[in-house]
Every structure is written in structure tokens, then in C-alpha cells.
A and B are shown apart, each in its own frame.
Chain A
Amino acid sequence: MKSAVIVFPGSNREPDAARAIRLAGGDDPVMVWHTETELPAVDLVMVPGGFAHGDYLRAGAIAARSPIMRAVADHAGRGGYVLGVCNGFQVLTEARLLPGALMRNAGLTFVCRPVRLKVEQTTAFTTQYQRGTVVTYPTAHHDGNYRADDETIARLEGEGRVVLRYVDNPNGSANDIAGILNDGGNVLGMMPHPENAVEPLLGSTDGLPLFQSIVTSAEAGEATPPRRPLLDRLINRNVPPGA
């Protein structure tokens, strides 16, 4: 699997992201600076954690308007995989590649500890997990409180796009949401750090299957996502009974 990791001024998890991708069997990722306007031909674009542009204005706001983000949006529009973790998730919501927003943690404190998460859905990003499995990833964020209007939350839930859910909500996120998918099923954002749970020395290997899932999906050529819930629903509605 070929991948790119986007680097902004203030990113700090890009080496961890690259290491996780390599450990999962992906090729060495290309590190792409935020001022670039084009991406190399890749299966996965990862937007890593950190504090891009110092989180000034709003977390991820300035990074989301970087020149490279237009290329990331084009990649996503073609069905390419995009994974945003922590600050990367904030960047993807600010770039409107994912719905909703990440607000200040409800408890106002920076949350920096391992959290348990339930893998709610089988997606291109989670094929290597049994649905319903509880995994432990580290978290490290101040603005991880996922918020969206009621209609958006209902749509995410109804379409099976809440991929990861906190077992013990650390930040006040609506519906305990920790990670969501776009409507195409090819863009995933999450606050916890799977890339920091990929080898025993780190205390958990629970994050490795996530990267292995992406490698497997990319190598199976699933450039377009496997599930299209809205379309499926429309098609099913038009099927006469007994047909």
C-alpha cells in the first residue's frame, strides 16, 4: 500500500503515523509538506496528530485551508482513503471532509490517557477487527468533544458511520462518538491514537489491525468503498416483495 502523511507546522505524530503504516505492511509513506499542491499517487492519505499552526483560531482551522488540503479533498473525492487522527480529525472536520466539529473537552482538561473504544462497524478501516470488539488506544487532546446538530448525529447513527465509540466518554462527545466515517465510507476521523498502539513496547497493539485493515482494503483494490447505505436503502425500497 502506498501512502502519504501530511505535515503541517506543529504536527508532531507524523513519525508515529509513518511507523504504524510500515509495521502494518505498507510501503514507506511519503511525507508531504502543507504548502504542496499535489499528492503522489497513493492509496491512503494520513493527516496526523499534533497542534498544526498552534491550534490558533480553532484547532485544525488554519491547517484545513492549506494548499495541500485541496489535493486531499480531490483524493477523497476519487474514493481514496483518508485517515485523520486527533488534530487530523479536527483538520478533516474544518475542511468539511467530515461533518460536525470538535469542541473543547466537556471537563475542560487536556485528556491524556488510554481509553477503551468499541469497534461499532466493519468498514474498509476495520476489517481486521471483530465488530463489537473493545480496543484500547491512547488519547491526548484538549478539543475532542464531538458535536453536530441532531439531524447529523441521527444520520451518522442511521447510516452506520459511527465507527468507534468510547466505552467511558472522556470528553463529552455526543453519543460517545470517538470516530466517524464520511458518507462515501473512505474518510475516517478519530480522536484516539491507533498509531500509538502498534507494538508491545507501547503498552498496546490494539491499533495495528486498523492499519492492517487499510493495507488489506487498499491491496484488494477497494478504491471505492464497499458500503453505500443510502443507495442500498433506495434500491431495496424499489425492490418488489418476493422479487
Chain B
Amino acid sequence: LSAAEMYDLGKAEHIIYGACLQCHTACNIKGKILNGVLVKIDGNPYSAMTMSPHLPYLTGPKEAAKVDGHLCPKGQAGIQSLYDPYRIVKVLKRYGKRGENKWQVVSFDQAVSEIVNGGKLFKHVPGEENRVVKGLKDIYALRDSKVAKAMAKDAAAVGKQKMTVAAFKKKYARYLDTLIDPDHPDLGPKNNRFVIQNGRIEHGRKEFSKRWQKDSFGSVNWYEHTSICEQSHHIGYNEFTRKWDKGKWGKGKHHMKPDIYNSKYILYFGTGAFEANFGPTNLARKVTQGIADGTLKIAVADPRFSKTAAKAEQWLPLKPGTDAALAYGMIRWIIDNKRYDKQYLSCANKAAANAVKETTWSNASHLVKIEKDGPGALLRASDVGLGSKEEFVAMVGGKPVAVDVHKGKAIYGDLEFDGKVKGIRVKSAFTLLTEMARSKSVAQWGVVCGIAEADIARAAKDFTSYGKQAVAELYRGPVQHTNGFYNARAVIALNVLIGNADWKGGLQAGGGHWHEDGSKNGPYNIKKLYADKMKSFGVTLTREKHKYEDSTLFSGYPAKRCWYPFSGNVYQEIIPSAAMGYPYTIDALMIHKGSPALTTPGANKNIEILQDLNKIPLLFASDIVIGETSMYADYIFPDTAIWERWGTPHATPDLLTAVSKVRQPMVQAMTEEVEVFGVKQPLGMETLLLAIAEKLGLPNHGRDGFGKGQPLERADDWFVRMAANLAKGDKPGTEVPAAGREEQAIFSKARKHLHGYAYDPKRWRKFLGDDMFLRTITVLNRGGRFEDAEHAYKGDKVHHQFKNQFNIYSEKVALARHPGTGKRFNGLPISEPVLDFHGREVKDAGYDMTLITYKDIVGGQSRTIGNYWAQGRELAENYILLNSRDARKLGLKDGSEAKILSASNPDGMWNIGHGLDRPVGGKVKVIEGVRPGVVAVSWSCGHWAYGANDVKVDGKVVKGDQRRGKGLCPNAAMRIDPALGDMCLTDPIGASSAFFGTRVKVVPV
């Protein structure tokens, strides 16, 4: 045999492309299979994520087999998450108390029947002999979609006081028993008492599961993890980019990134390119190339000397959470030295921007009304008799002019104005920003953030020395604070000052993706394929997407808990809100691919609640192992691992060309095979939801789930249709070519070890039709659809452009009030300290250090501890990182054992129930690369479950692996909001949980 013949892993028939999910970046991967076993994972060379430039899309799979793309260590180690000796494959039901880790294997059918029908499910457990658990059939109270639709509208009207409660009750007298509280119809139906809390669910499953919960079961309570990740960053961008559309503020962009290959300077705020962010596999090589070539300078603002800082020309070790102060120091210097792009900022609308070769513009010159309690609404042309309500106003040469941002003629507004227009007191947004920046000198801003004036000036000068080819980038670091939203806004403002968006080397929105949901041109438009679409309604358990003032629960300030009209997926609120019963109590909670007992700041509070049968009466989990949260569940349903299943994740905006990923089974699932809707399939999250749907008689699932004659009976019914939508493209005439004979042969040979939902070509061909089936093979043979690299740029701009307005001043935010204080939020970025829900500064005297966390690239949050390859050697354990000056003061040395204490956890203990407490402690590592006064702990160790502990299954002990319990997880030391007492400090606008900024003590043990 020649070497090429010998090496099976270089052959297309041993390869199936998929998508990773060891972190949320979800890189495109290439799985290599021998005898049905996944033996190697590499980067997919077809994708812009994993190679630059990536292979042209129509490169044959045989040639691509020889090219392995880049992949980070977590992605490489995925094999050990898949083949984890602690994977569960059958349904477990607890036979001890919650969290005691005593389990019995039960049949899938029995478990689903029990959660659907309820009853005395745990009469075998001491103390629960007579406890009757409400089943999902009782929670599924409102079943009529037409009634739901009508009630939804009127219930919202009641909240806004446009309809009385009495009128509502009269109109819906027959249905009042389906409501949580007929006196508060805006809380919605009892259906809302079933909550699905997801962690790192991603596209594909996200839409599948939302469609189940919201559009079929009729509960508004469906959540994912974003607020424990970086939600305020999303919301900061969203408010900056919200589009003005026909007199209303529409949606904005949630995420923008530098065009690194053409950037000459990037300033990273609390993130980088090499460890986490979104994500290292696609970011790192672009930065290292620029640095080695001498074309890119980077700077890092972070209390910790990150791996990215190791390559930076400037490290700004700011105090945690003071990013807005640093940004304002830079803004002040930039304004004082006139280093901003005046021409760009004066563009008041699209026509003005386009005339000076810009694709974006800002509202810097738009006028803002100054009211008694601060800046309020933007002035409308109709306010001063110059035009319509849809037009804003700018001063041009001292005279007010109406501004139609999209269609009007070019208007170049005066940047500075402070005065009256027709008697109305106004200032320009730029003047407001300037005043805010000048409220302190650069040196004074430096005192707030702990950076010397000269260093701020250097960063500001560098940032403004490369025209449009400089970017201020941010991610988790600045935003997981109570002031996270404002920090994000301040950093984004830097970009707007130089007008870098859409320019090569500037800030850009990414290449996007084809719409796998079929909503543009696909043969299967998921948004329309329903048998009977249910309308879910009511205030969400987390009060997200709802305004306190627009609810019948409004009773002045402070509200009992925060409301989050600007944000969503407020993960940390779910369990404590259910416990408080505000806005209502819940009956059942399903947790999927998330671990709120471990991964939220102050997660120890969640553990107390999860053990409380009165607060969470039914708790079931979908998980691949017995994890730190699923160990408290009543039932654990094994899930398929990501290499065994389907998905359609979206791409990071760092990629300039369109990327649509398809995750597909590489190996046959190891979970138990069950029968749902008469179809045999492996147990996984989709299977579980389908089975519950079958037992409940839920619409939109089963034989006619997608409408007459179109079944939704197993996962591939959904995902193969999604892949076909991608094959078809977003516009007529943009379908991918059909697979030829050779590609068809490779397709089937590579899948010969698969069957059923993982590979069923006859069935797929039948429902897709011959033509779409062959085109779909082209997509599946490449793990998705990828735009060729030549489409990245258009002249001196990126090809896929934002082409819209940046809101230096956010009117929507300025018009809203803080539910805890009743005070108006600020439409500008502001610099503020750590505040509790009642707006009081959290000082915690006596706790003189500040805790931060970071992610080491070898570990994810809760799910990588079984990756022995990546956790080998010194990587096996994490440390309490201290600057040598602090270590000396505290008498601690490398290797000393220490504990982290805080005002809300003065003992420094994780109370995990049943006498299994463990300290928030570990070994100290003394370094220079952290700001003195700051304690840094990385984020993936400190497990007490997930295979780290002994569990009992059917009376037999399964021994845990001590290697998995090493190190520490600092979350239990994080500050509980003193105004609430049950949840971490949280950003009231962006809803990010405060991972950073807790004042702590480090004590030897």
C-alpha cells in the first residue's frame, strides 16, 4: 500500500463534516471515522472559520479530505466528550432526595408518562409519600389557539390599562380557569408555569424547542444562557444599531467585529483573540499574521495579562468594571485633540453618508430634548413645525433642519449645539457626549479606571492614527457587570468617533448566513409549517421583554424584582424568580444543556432552590452525564452528544463571507433506542420533546406536524429539511449544484455505519424529491454552505455591509425607567460603580480585593472536564491567581491553599446539599500578570459532579474520577444582590450577570 492508501483518515469515505460545540463558537469540524468510531476531529477546510482563505465550495470531497483546517484544543478533544465513560444512555429517576445522587433506571415510556400525567411519583422517597406532583397535562391548561390569540391581545391591553380587568373577565368568563390569575390576565395562562431553561442550545435545536414550547405548548417561558455569557454586549450593540424604521425603532445588530486581516490597530476591552471570545479558532491566525508581518498593532485593556496581552504593544490593566471610564478618558482626549472624523459624524442621514463614500452614519448631530430630569426624547421635525414625526432635527449652520434618515436629501448637521429650537431646550447628541467626556479630565478618568493619563493618551492616539483601520473590540470582560450595558456603549462609541464601520480593517457586521429556516426562499418555511400554531402570551417569568409600567403588577418603585424590556434570556433570574413567585410560581422546570447550579454567579443560591420541592415541584433534565445541575433533577433524560446529532449553528460576525453550518451525526448515537410516533429513534432532546408532544396530544408534531402529510416524528424530519433550505439558497437561482455520481458514492460510503435518524437516504429522497435530495447531499458532504472567499470585500469596504445608523444617543433607553429606583436610564454611555437593584453602591468594606474570572482555552464552562487530552499536565487544575505584591501582603506563596470569601459568602463555602459542602478554594499561583488588588480564577474546574463524584445507580456505586474534581469554581463567592438576597448582581438594562467585580478576601486555609 502507498502511504496515501494506508492513511484512511485522509480519505473522503472516512469523513463526515459537522459543527463543534465544545464552546459556543461552534466551529465547522471534520470528523474522521474508523469502524464506526470517531477517532479524530479537525477543522473543516470548506469554512472561513477554520481556514483562510477556505477551499472554494465546489472543491470535491476527495481533495478536501487531504486538507485539515485549524481547530482549537477543545474542538480537538471533543472525542473525549463524546466517548466519556460517564455518559448516561438510559433514563434515570431519583429514588433518594433531590441531590442525593441515588438513581434507578426506568423505561423512557414510564418516565414520559409520569411527567405528563403526574401523581405520587416519589412515594418511595421518605417525606414524599403523599406529595402529588402536577403533570404537564394539567399545566397545559389553555389549548385553543384562537382563544389564546384573542386573549393575548386583550391581556396586553389590560397591562397597559387600555382595557379593564373586569371587561377582560367578562369577555373570557369561560376561560378564566386557564389563567394564572384572572385578576392579572397579563400574566398569561397556566401554561406559563412550565419553564424550559436551556444553556448552550444553538440554532436548529433552538427553533425546534421554541416552536414546541411557545407555538405548541403555549408557554412564554423558554430561555437560553446568554446573560451569563455576554448579553449586555449584545444589548449595547443592539441599542447602538437599532434601525429607525417608519417612525419606530426596529431591531439592531447584536454583534460586530473587526476585519482583523486589514486592521492596523485593535484595542481589546476585556477580551482577546486567543482564549475565548468568538472564538480563538477563527480569530487567532488573523492577529498573529498581522503581528508577524508588522501590519497590526494590538492593545489590551484587561486587569489580567491575557495571552492576547502577551502579543500586545500596550497592556492597560484597568480596574475591573471601569471600561467606560477608560473609554471616556480616550473620548475626552480624542475630542480635545480633534482626532475624531468630523466629516463622518456630521453625516445626519444616509444620503449625506453616501455622498462622502460612507455607508453608515450616526445621530451625533441629531437634537435631543433636555427635560427636567435629564436628556429625553430626540426632537422630531413635527415638534418644531419642520416636518413629520418620522423625521429628526439637526442644526445646519445654526438653523434647524428636518432629517429623514433613510430617504431625505443629504444633511450635514452641526456637531455642537446647546440651545433652544422653537422654545424647546435641546442639545445635539455629540454635545451631550462631549459634556459627559469633559465632566472629568483625562487624568481624572484615569483615577477612576486606574490607568495613568499618559497611557490613556497613548491608546487614544494610537486608536486615531490609522484612519478607518482601527477598532475598539469588546466582549465579556466589560459587560458582565452591573454597569455592563453602559461599558459596552462607551467602547462602541469609540468606533463611531472614527466612523470605521463597513470599511476594510474597520468594524463590520459579518457575512451572515443563508436562512436554514426557509423563510427567504426555502422549500420548507418553518415559520409557516404548522398544523395549529398556538399563541403564547403573558409576562415572562424573568420579566424580560416586558415593561414594569405596562403590567398590572405595577405598584410604584422599587419593583419586587427587576424587569428587562431591553434584554432577553436572563438566565440567572429564572430559578430565583420561580422561588419568589414573582411574577408567579411555576409547576415544572426542564433544564437542557445548561447548568445553573454551577455556571451562574451565586449559583449556590440556585442549589438551595432546586432542592426545594415546593418551589420547583417537578424538575427534569436533558443531559449527557449526571452534571452539577441534573444531579438535582427528578428525572434525567440522556441526550445525544453533538457528534451524534443534528444542528444548524450560525456564524460569528468575524467572518466576512456567508457561513451556514450543518451539524450532522458522525457516529450512531449511544443513547438508548426508543419508539416515538411509532418510529424507532435514539433518545435525545428532540426525542424527549416529541414523546411528550405525543402523550399530550400537542399540535405541530407527529404525522402531520408540519401540516398535512408532512411528518415531524424524529430529529431528521426537521434537520434534513433545514439542510435542503440551505441547498436551495435565499434567492431563486442560487441553489447549490446536485451531487454527481462520485459525490453520491462518497456520501453513502462515509455513512455506512449509520442508520435511522442519522442516515435514511430513501426516506429523505422521498420527501425532498430527487433534485433537492442530490443538492442536499452537496451541502451535507461539506458540512454546510459557505460563500467563497473572493466575496469578502467590495473595493475599500467589506462586501456584507451594515449600511445604517449608529445611535450615539439611544432614545429608547433614555425614555425607560429603572424598575428598582424609578429613575430614568441614560441614553448616553455613563461611568458608574457597582450598584445593587436599589441603585446603592455595593462597597463591602473589609473585602479589599476584586474577583474576576477568565476562560482558559483548554476548558469550557461546565462540559469539558472529561477531556483528558486537553486537561493533561499543568492544565489539569486551575488556581487562585494573585499578583506577587498581594501574595506577599497575604503571606501566600505558589501552591499555598487558600479560600475566597465575600460579603455574601463569608465562609467561602459551596453548600451543595447532603453534607457535601466544598470550599471556594484551591491553590494559589503567584504571578506578575494581574493587577494588584485583583484575584483571577479561570473557569472550567471545581466540579463536584460530572463524573467527579460517586453516584448510586440501581443500588450499585459508580465510582467517580478524582481528576475531574480538581481546582475551584469561584461562582459561589460572587456577590448576591443585597436588595434581593437570592440572585447575583445584575445589569438592569443589558441583564448580564455580574461575574466580575465582587469584593473578596483571600485567606489561607
**Chains A and B bind each other:** no
Task: Enumerate chain A interface residues (CB-CB to B < 8 A).
Answer: none
